[in-house]
Structure 1
Amino acid sequence: MKLQPDQSDAQTISAYGPGWVAVGAEKITHNVVLGSHGERIEWAGSFEQLGPEHFAALAQLKVEVVIFGSGRRIRFPQPAWLAPLAARRIGVETMDTPAACRTYNILAQEGRDVAVALLLDAEP
């Protein structure tokens, strides 16, 4: 049996740290939505500035699940804001941003239709 690493064409996160993520060699320092098929959209300014329109925009993506990286700590969006995603049968998982990056990479490399919405808090 020949063993070789899985190959994937999915957009993945190559590194992350306080206030940034990297896709390949490109360092991104603003809140961003990344999709496994190459989508890249600038997103909300901060957790406090989030509103229903931000999650309604996520519902327009052609994905089966959205991973919400809420920053350095887990913070949940208001349940009513998730209604557009639920109406389109898109799952949502909330976690801190480092966990969201790792989870997104795993799902993207499995070939899943996934997006990650990241709040990139810098260190206080």
Structure 2
Amino acid sequence: MRMDRDRPAAGPLVRGFGPAGFKVDAPDGTMGVYPALLLTATRADAWTPPPLESLDAAALAPVLGEAIEFVLIGTGTDLRRPPRALIAALEARGIGVEAMDSRAAARAWGVLRAEDRRIAAALYPLED
């Protein structure tokens, strides 16, 4: 699936996704495809995520160093609930958690970044 926006957001944008991963335009004009992905307003990084039930703040450390409102967690092909301990740990730091399937999270990323929201995203692969 290809996604385009009328008003581009600053930073890396997810331009599409499929079985191979997420197609991302980086701020420097390069494009990459990532099976799993960590996103901030300034960068896109390949990610080797732990099983969702083991996800903790340490696994998200690369995106938690920036001032963010919340983290979008794309849980893969289906919506699954992240661990309660992760949600509690992030909320204790003043960071909200929004979980959705990875396709929805990839779409939401562009919309929320176009609104200049201070967010990060952790997208699990679309194929298990």
What TM-score comes out, normalization by structure 2 length?
0.77
Hey, what does 2:34 align to over in structure 1?
A: 28
Matches of 1:42 and 1:7, distance apart in 2: 24
Hey, what does 1:12 align to over in structure 2?
A: 13
Matches of 2:7 and 2:59, distance apart in 1: 34
Q: Which runs of no fewer than 5 residues in structure 1 stay unpaired?
A: none
Hey, what does 2:86 align to over in structure 1?
A: 81
Instruction: Assess, with a 3 A threshold, how the Cα gap between structure 1 residues 84 and 59 changes in structure 2: closer, same or farther.
Output: farther
Residue identity opposite 1:26 in structure 2: G
Structure with greater contact order relative to length (CA < 8 Å, sep ≥ 6): 1
Deviations 1:76-122 (A, max 9, x none): 11211222210121111000000000011101111111111010132
What TM-score comes out, normalization by structure 1 length?
0.79
- % of aligned pairs identical? 28
Matches of 1:40 and 1:70, distance apart in 2: 17
Q: Larger Cα Rg: Structure 1 or Structure 2?
A: 1
Q: Which runs of no fewer than 5 residues in structure 2 stay unpaired?
A: 1-5, 26-30
CA contact (8 A) 1:55 1:84 kept: no
Residue 121 of structure 1: SS of its match in structure 2?
Answer: coil
Residue 16 of structure 1: SS of its match in structure 2?
Answer: strand
CA contact (8 A) 2:54 2:83 kept: no
Q: How many residue pairs end up in the alignment?
A: 118
Measured on the aligned residues, the alpha-carbon RMSD in Å equals: 2.3
Residues 61-80 of structure 1 aligned to structure 2 (within 5 Å): 61-80=66-85
Deviations 1:17-44 (A, max 9, x none): 1340011231112x22111222535241
